[in-house]
Structure 1
Amino acid sequence: MRESIRRRVARLLSASMNSLVTSFENSAPESLMAEAVREMDAVIEEARSELGRLLAQKHMAEKRLGEEKKRYEGLSEQIRVAVSLNRDDLAETGIAEQMDIEAIIPVLTASIDECLEKEKELEGFIQALQSKKREMRSEMAAYKKSQEKEGLSEAPAKASLDTKAEKAGSLFDRILENASGVPGRGMQTASAAKLAELEELSRKNAISERLAALKTDKT
């Protein structure tokens, strides 16, 4: 897995909405918070893409491993027959082939183990980012509510709002770069509503499955 994903996950998980608002309270904090959530969505999508690639790689390695083991067993029977017919030349060829397979199997096994380790890491990243995103959204809602009570909610003209949104994006990149030394990047366009709905659906399903498992254990 690329180091850049690890770094981006680390800096996003360490981000604090309170510190962002405190440091840039006059620079469209609501837009800045929204930009942080979009950054989360982009990194989650990137992690999911990497996870998909790893799953495909693991599947191919597992398939090849199964084929090689089956071929090894088939050669064993063929070698036995060759020996019984005093065809040592054929038996030697079969044995040499088995030795090649014996060298391949550990490599394939190591590849599968590596994929499993990275798969577990990526899944952990995705879960942690989703949790952090829920935290950010909660803080966004709380901040917006407090601003509305104070009559300070952001309600500029459309042109002004667009300008502030652009500024918020660059500020967020600067904050992340200053905090971690890692340059930020522009956001990918995505349907935030659809992604949020998908995330919530997946979370509810996981909760239902865990509850069902608890009920099964209890009976």
Structure 2
Amino acid sequence: MSDTLKARVGRVIAGSMHALLDRIEDQAPEAMMEQSIREADAVIDDVRHELGVVSANRHLSQQHHASLNSQHAKLAAQIDDALVGGREDLARAGVARQLDIEAQLPVLETTLGEYTRQEGELQGYVAALLAKKREMQEALTEFRKSRAAAAAASSMAGAAGGTAAHRIDGVAGAFDRIYERQTGLSGTARGNTLQQAAQLKELDDMVRDNKIAERMAQLKANKA
């Protein structure tokens, strides 16, 4: 597995969707999250491709290893037959071929072991990448839900506010119509009348406070 592909795998596995959101807060987070998932898919495809190559090479190595072992066993029987038949020259040729096979087998077994190791490593990478992709998809789903919930709440708040304002306006309008029918005054006149009434009450309160102050002053003067 190339160092470049390992680095790409490492970036995907180590990446955090929350950290990504923090970095792109002022951008388009949903689009960036979708792009990250596509990048994860691309890395998964590349790792699977390399896994396929390694698996094929391991299979070929196994076949070659089995073939060499089979040849070695067959040569052993042929060597025995040659010796029994007095054909030492043929027996020597068989032994020479066996030595060649025996020289190849350890190298082939090392290669086979390396392919097996790589295959297991790549399978682990694929499993980890798929798990990370699921995590990213779940994060994207939750993000979309939170956005949808926020939009719905905002819409409901706006609708509720509009409805309340509309109801208040309706009630005020109905009151004005009734008031005008009963008094002959318009809503504006009613407003002026109410303002005047408030001012008159304030004046009454002030006069009363002054009277109380005068009475208290008289009482204090009499006791002095």
SS of equivalent residue, structure 2 residue 143: helix
User: What is the match of residue 90 of structure 2?
Assistant: 90
What's the offset of the Cα at 1:151? 2.8
What's the offset of the Cα at 1:43? 0.7
Q: Deviations over 1:13-70 (max 9, x none)?
A: 1111111111111110000000010011111111111111111111111111111111
User: What is the match of residue 182 of structure 2?
Assistant: none
* Aligned mates of 1:132, 1:83 — CA distance in 2: 64
* Aligned mates of 2:20, 2:74 — CA distance in 1: 65
User: What is the match of residue 113 of structure 1?
Assistant: 113
Q: From the CA coordinates, give the structure whose radius of gyration is larger.
A: 2
SS of equivalent residue, structure 1 residue 151: helix
- How many residues get paired? 152
* Aligned mates of 1:25, 1:145 — CA distance in 2: 17
* Aligned mates of 1:76, 1:127 — CA distance in 2: 45
| Structure 1 letter corresponding to 2:17 | M
| Structure 2 letter corresponding to 1:117 | R
User: What is the match of residue 19 of structure 1?
Assistant: 19
Segment drifting more, 124-133 vs 80-89: 80-89
| Structure 1 letter corresponding to 2:122 | L
Identity of aligned pairs, percent?
A: 37
Which ranges of structure 2 fall in alignment gaps of 5 or more residues? 153-224
SS of equivalent residue, structure 2 residue 26: coil
User: What is the match of residue 201 of structure 1?
Assistant: none
List aligned pairs for 1:165-184, cutoff 5 A. none
| Structure 2 letter corresponding to 1:77 | A
User: What is the match of residue 57 of structure 1?
Assistant: 57
Which ranges of structure 1 fall in alignment gaps of 5 or more residues? 153-219
User: What is the match of residue 134 of structure 1?
Assistant: 134
Segment drifting more, 78-87 vs 48-57: 78-87
Report which structure shows greater RCO (CA 8 Å, sep ≥6): 1
* Aligned mates of 2:95, 2:41 — CA distance in 1: 54
So what's the TM-score if we normalise by structure 2?
A: 0.65
SS of equivalent residue, structure 2 residue 63: helix
* Aligned mates of 2:11, 2:148 — CA distance in 1: 30
List aligned pairs for 1:1-219, cutoff 5 A. 1-151=1-151
Q: Deviations over 1:77-119 (max 9, x none)?
A: 1111111222222111111110000011112211111111111
* Aligned mates of 1:82, 1:145 — CA distance in 2: 81
RMSD across aligned C-alpha pairs, in angstroms? 1.3
* Aligned mates of 1:70, 1:23 — CA distance in 2: 61
So what's the TM-score if we normalise by structure 1?
A: 0.67
